[in-house]
Amino acid sequence: MRLDLSAQRLADLLARAATTRIAVIGDAMLDVYLTGDVERISPEAPVPVLRVRERKHALGGAANVAQNVVAIGAGCALVSAIGADRAGETLRTMLRESGVTAAVPPTHERCTTQKTRIVARSQQVVRVDEEEDGELAGADVQAIIDAAHAAIATADALVLEDYNKGVLTPTVIRTAIDEARRKGIPIVVDPKYRNFFAYRGATLFKPNRRELETALGAAVDFQHPESLSHAFERLGVEHLLLTLSERGMVMYSAHGEVLRVPALAREVYDVVGAGDTVTAYVAAMLAAGGSMPEAAMVANLAAGLEGGKFGAATVSPAELIEFAG
C-alpha cells in the first residue's frame, strides 16, 4: 500500500490534534546529562576524568511521551509512579512546567528511575542507571488504577508506555485497555518483554524488530506479511508498527494490509527519545481522526526531525510542517 500525505492534510491533522486530549500510562523517568571535557587519565585507575561543564535534566520514558504530546498542542494526562526522593521532586516540577497534567503518586519503597548519561565531545561515554524495576503491588497498584480511570474518562486516545519498570502490571494493563475500549478510543502500546502478550485488544502495537522476534522466539520474514499471522493471533492487536532501523518502518494490519514507510535521508545524531516521539505522534494523529497509515507517515516525519536533536527532544507542529514542505 502507498500513501501520499498532502501539506494541507498534514496541517489539518495537526490542527485537530491540538484540540484532543491523550492519556499516557507507564514508566516515567528522569534523564540526567553530564557534559564536559576529558583532558587526562585518573591517577587512581586507568579511566578518563570528565570535567563537567553542564548538568541538564530531561524527561524520559512515559514522561517524554507526555511532553511530546503537549508539544503537538494536545492536552495530556500522565499516570505513573515515582519515588519519594529528590529525583522525583525534580520530575514532578518538570512535568508541571511542561504543561503535563500528572498523577504520579509517590512510592516509598522504591527510587525514581534515573538515567545519567556522561557525555564528552558530543559522544556518550557511559550511562549510569538508578532504578528498581519490580512490579508495583498493593496500594500502589490501586492508586495507578484510580488515576487511570480518571485520565481515560476525558481522553481521545490512550498510550501505554512500558519500560519494564513496574507501573504497567497485568492488572493495570487490562483495566486500562478495557476502559478505553468501552469508551471507543484508540489504544497505542509501546511494549517491553515482561508483559509483551498482555495487550490484547490494543489498536496499535509498536515493538521494534528485536523485541518482536525475541518475544516470538523466532526470526520473522517481514517481506512476507502472511508470516505474521501467528503473531497477530498471539498478540490480539489490530495493527503492528515495526521500526526497522535504516529500512524505516513497516505497518502491518491484522486483515493483511501493509504500509512501508522508508527512512528519511537525514543524518541521525542521537536516537534517544525517537521512539517516544513516534508514539506521541501516532496517538495524536489517531485522536485527531487520522487513518492508521496517515498516523504512521506523520510519526515517521517527526522521528526524522527528532533524530537530528540531542537527547530526548520534542518536535513541534511548525517544525514538522516546515520539514515536510
DSSP-derived pairing of the beta strands 239-243 and 249-253 = antiparallel
Q: How many helices, marked H, and strands, marked E, lie in the chain?
A: 10, 15
| CA 261 from centre of chain | 19
Residue 10 is inside which H or E element, if any? Answer: helix 7-17
133 part of the active site: no
Query: Can you name the residues that pair with 127 across neighbouring β-strands?
Result: 117
Q: How many other C-beta atoms are found inside a 10 Å radius of the C-beta of residue 246?
A: 7
| CA 223 from centre of chain | 26
* Grid coordinates belonging to 281: 505522534
Q: Taking CA 47 as the corner, what is the angle to CA 45 and CA 42, rounded to the nearest 5 degrees?
A: 60
CA distance 123 to 151: 39
Q: What is the largest CA-CA distance in the chain?
A: 63
Cell 512500558 belongs to residue: 162
Class of residue 239 by CB neighbours under 10 A (exposed 0-12, middle 13-18, buried 19+): buried
Query: What φ, ψ does residue 188 adopt, rounded to 5°?
Result: -110, 130
| 308, 269 Cβ separation under 8 angstroms | yes
CA distance 63 to 114: 12
* Grid coordinates belonging to 118: 556522561
Q: Which residues contact 210 (CB under 8 A, 6 or more apart)?
A: none
Q: Which DSSP symbol is given to 260?
A: E
* Grid coordinates belonging to 195: 508483559
Looking at the annotation, which residues are catalytic?
A: 276
